Structure 1
Amino acid sequence: MIVVTGASGHLGRLVVEELAGRVPAERIVAAVRSPEKVADLAERGVQVREADYDRPDTLGPAFEGATKVLLISGSEVGRRVGQHKAVVDAAKAAGVELLAYTSIVHADTTPLGLAPEHKATEEYIRASGVPFAFLRNGWYHENYVATARQAVQSGVIAGSARDGRVASAARADYAAAAAAVLTGEGHRSAVYELTGDVAWSLPELAALVSELSGAPVEYRDLPVAEYAKVLESYGLPEPVAAMFAQTDAGIADGWLGATPGDLSRLIERPTTPLRDTLAEALKNG
């Protein structure tokens, strides 16, 4: 029995889809906060169970009979360590053979603001004694879809990354890697740095968006504080805007540009090109 937490989210749904192509649907559990959101999965034979990171009493029943669990990291930055600990405790109580966790690339060394909660979760998992695999996901192509669409209208992509590079991959690539780990063997104690095969810069992103859309688009590099103000003008709360602006500074320093090849090896194919994701998004958006 394979349990996928957060299965109603973008990544979780893709993981369930990948698993459904590898194992019988009845062996898959979609563990979600709101079961009604995945009624379509239940209709296909997937087991749907309530699992709320903030209500530990729901996690034990959700993991009953589980041999493997995928803990998809929570989305509530600042609250995730406690939420994740509850999932780890439930997985340990269930005696799972493998707990896979979607972490962040270079979680134990990166200065990126999103990393501390992932590092703390990894440390807790190691200390728990539960057999684990860390899926340290890099950036998603989809992180830049809204940026690309906005740039077609404004003619500008702003940032603070200078000519730093991003080795992003499609969300579906990361889902395929998770499914490979959950259905394969030999992944205990593995730490995978999952990134795309090709790293690109924000000036290259601007050129690609211009090429795909036919609209002139330029990259405008800004000081971190100024870029944070731009993000605030888009409606992001001040702390979130500051964190994403600092992430761009991390890109400039090379923290998201490595291409070790772990992702393409796990999925046994090249990672999806950025061009493909953006072309589809701009065509539909």
Structure 2
Amino acid sequence: MLIVTGANGKLGKGVVEELLKRIPADQIGVSVRNVSQAHELKARGVRVRHGDFANAESLLDAFEDASQVLLVSTGILGDAGIRQHQTAIDTAKKSGARRVLYTSHMGSSRASFFPPMVHHAATEDLLKESGIRCTSLRNGFYASSLVGLIGDAVKTGELIVPEDGPIAWTTHSDLAQAIAVILAEKNWEGPSPNLTASEAIDMEGVAAMVSDIVGRPIYRKVVTDDTYRAYLTAQGFPEVRIAITLGLFRASRNGDFAQTSNALADLIGRPPLTIRDFLKESLSL
């Protein structure tokens, strides 16, 4: 049985939907913190069980009869998040799963300026140390994050950001399809190739693209990191989010998210959704 954790979330749910196109529903199980939110999957024949990365006993039940387990990152940073991932890995091994797959990220590195990349690198190390067969899915940077960075620029005509570098923005839907293919058909071990869209674009390019889409000028205004921090603070962003956002720009300046690969297109059998088409859909224009 293929077990997908976090199946109430955007990526996890997308993976389950793609798996249902490929294998019988009774070969799919999901581990979710809120079982009531997964009633639709249960009605379609998917095994739904409560599983919480902070509770090993719940995971042992959720992972019962697992052949493979997809661990979708909790998004909890720091020691607490690493402890939860350690619990999930240990429990997957105890359950008898023959392989664990983890939703890591391109640019995963303990030296990254972007805090989530440090978190992913630490989890990848835990997987290696566990001795279980494992695959680290080096997902492209989630395109949904770009909408938040654009913010009010469509209204104000000004995209205020620090100095940056190109990012290979990639959609959840394309990644979900690729991950389902890997679960159902591939036996990759170790880090995957970067699973990215076909282009990397910086914020100057994003501003020009948005300008073209909306039919009016959107100017990119480059500010210092300190000015950007003050700008976000004035908008009420919490310090944790500000640190993560600034870390994103610092890491992009370092080239951490610029590398593209054909692996995603090969897996899904078509070109990934372009960032232009994603923005057309996401900006509700």
TM-score, with normalisation over the residues of structure 1? Answer: 0.94
What residue number does 1:119 align with? 121
Deviation at 1:250, TM superposition (A): 1.5
Q: 1:240 maps to what in 2? A: 241
Aligned to 1:281: 282
**2:32: which partner in 1?**
32
Partner of 2:55: 55
Q: 1:129-151 CA distances to partner (integer Å, 9 max, x unpaired)?
A: 11111101121111112344521
Q: What residue number does 2:145 align with?
A: 143
Q: Give the aligned length.
A: 283
Partner of 2:250: 249
Taking only the aligned residue pairs, the percentage that are identical comes to 33
8 Å CA contact retained: 2:67, 2:98: yes
Asked if structure 2 preserves the Cα contact closer than 8 Å seen for 1:224 and 1:246, the reply is no
C-alpha distance in 2 between matches for 1:87 and 1:252:
33
Cα offset, 1:113, TM superposition = 2.1
Deviation at 1:190, TM superposition (A): 4.5
> Greater shift after overlay, 184-193 or 90-99?
184-193
Equivalent runs, 1:2-13 vs 2, <5 Å = 2-13=2-13
Alpha carbons 2:110, 2:119 under 8 Å: kept: no
Residue 180 of structure 1 is matched in structure 2 by 181
The farther-off stretch of 113-122 and 258-267 is 258-267
Residue range with higher mean Cα deviation, 1-10 or 206-215: 206-215
In the alignment, residue 139 of structure 1 is paired with which amino acid? Answer: F
Letter of the aligned partner of 2:59 in structure 1?
L
**Cα 1:44/1:234, change in 2 over 3 Å:** farther
Unaligned runs of 5+ in 2: none
- Contact kept, 8 Å, 2:110 with 2:118, in 1: the verdict is no
Alpha-carbon distance between aligned partners in 2 of 1:236 and 1:72, rounded to the nearest angstrom? 26
* 2:161 and 2:228 in contact (8 A); partners too: yes
What is aligned with 2:205? 204
Structure 1: distance between partners of 2:272 and 2:178: 10
CA distance in 2 between counterparts of 1:64 and 1:258 reads: 38
Aligned equivalent of 2:193: 192
- Tell me the CA shift for residue 110 of structure 1: 5.2
* Range 112-121 or range 231-240, more displaced: 231-240
Shift of 1:228: 2.1
CA–CA distance in 1 between the matches of 2:229 and 2:22? 43
In structure 1, the gaps of 5 or more residues are none
- 2:225 is the counterpart of 1:224: yes
Secondary structure of the structure 1 residue equivalent to 2:102: strand
2:170 match: secondary structure: coil
When normalised by structure 2's length, the TM-score is: 0.94
Report the Cα distance in structure 1 between the residues aligned to 2:93 and 2:271, rounded to whole angstroms.
35
Q: CA RMSD for the aligned pairs?
A: 1.6
Q: Distance in 2 between matches of 1:106 and 1:152?
A: 29
Q: Post-superposition shift, 1:191?
A: 2.8
The change in CA–CA distance for 1:252 and 1:2 in structure 2 (over 3 A counts) is: same
> How far did 1:62 drift?
0.2
Contact 1:104 1:118 in 2 (8 A): yes
1:102-158, Cα deviation, whole Å (9 max, x unpaired): 112131365132222111111111111111111011211111123445211121222
TM-superposed CA distance for 1:20, in Å, is 0.7
Query: Which residue does the alignment assign to 1:158?
Result: 160
